[in-house]
Amino acid sequence: MKTETAVTVKERSSTKIKTALVAVMLSVLLNTGFTLMVSSTFGIGFKVSGVIISSLITSLIFTGIYLINKKWISFAALSCAPVIFTLCFIFDWFNVKKGLLALLYYIKLYVFLWLPGDYGEDPTGGKSIFAFFVAYNLVTISISTFVLMKRRWIPAALGFYAPMFLCSVTNTDVHPQAAPCLITGAGIILILFSNAFRKKRQTTYERMLLVLILPVIAFMFMLGGLFPQEKYNKDKLAEKILIEMRDRIDRAAGRDNFIRDLIERALNGYENSDFDESFDAISPL
């Protein structure tokens, strides 16, 4: 009986460590990828090492709390993260509120032109925006580590990164760099695998994810090598799409209609040599 007890304790301890390792690695991947997507999109210039270190420290703290496996402690940790973020914003601790207002400047400039209010650039050179993301990521990391540790509601971890994703991709003037997108893609794929394996035995679940982490990251960067960002031309893609739309409209409704005129005007504007080379008449449409 003593031997059985010792083996059981050892296995449980090993399982907890593997669970924690999976939660930390996936949380850091997601948080680093999405944060750097926003940073590279707007040219804010976050230091990669700073984003990774802050993500790692936050993830380790929350993972350590959830390892205790007490319901009231886990609930307190989940509740404290949004409370701390809210207090930082209300009282502008560490310039968190200033960081959000500075971020809104870029969002209004490039993404949502109709956003009400006037905002200025970050006078601290991006430091207050970084402080805002560190505070906001308390919420995202607390949730991602929790769902991964408990193996429940795992896709919910992605929902809280949606604002960062939308700010990075719902514009036509600026776009994120390739590396953050590849890191984010690897994190999303692993989260989906994690959700697919959640009903398996815990040891099997952890082993499969730990084995998949490196191949998934390697696959994403191989994909980036096969389709490098510098060869992607959004104007040519938009032009091709518009021409196909124009041809379909011609077949369906004839050549005399408002939508066709609008598309034709965009295409002619793009092809007009009188425009400056940097002028983009297609992408905004």
Write out the chain's pLDDT in tens, 285 residues: 445 444 444 445 556 888 899 999 999 999 999 999 999 999 998 999 999 999 999 999 999 999 888 889 999 999 999 999 999 999 999 999 999 999 999 998 888 878 888 898 888 889 999 999 999 999 999 999 999 999 989 998 999 999 999 989 887 678 889 999 999 999 999 999 999 998 888 888 888 998 999 899 999 989 888 878 777 676 677 778 788 888 888 888 777 777 787 777 777 654 444 445 444 444 444
CA dihedral 117, 121, 124, 129 (to 10 degrees): 60
What is the SS3 string spanning the chain? CHHHHHHHHHHHHHHHHHHHHHHHHHHHHHHHHHHHHHHHHHCCCCCHHHHHHHHHHHHHHHHHHHHCCCHHHHHHHHHHHHHHHHHHHHCCHHHHHHHHHHHHHHHHHHCCCCCCCCCCCCCCCCHHHHHHHHHHHHHHHHHHHHHHHHCCCCCHHHHCCHHHHHHHHCCCCCCCCHHHHHHHHHHHHHHHHHHHHCCCCHHHHHHHHHHHHHHHHHHHHHHHHHCCHHHCCHHHHHHHHHHHHHHHHHHHHCCCCHHHHHHHHHHHHHHCCCCCCCCCCCCCC
Cα(276)–Cα(180) distance, integer angstroms: 31
pTM for this model (two decimals): 0.79
Q: How far is CA 124 from CA 40, 42, 67, 98, in A?
A: 17, 15, 38, 10
Q: How many other CB atoms are found less than 10 A from the CB of residue 32?
A: 23
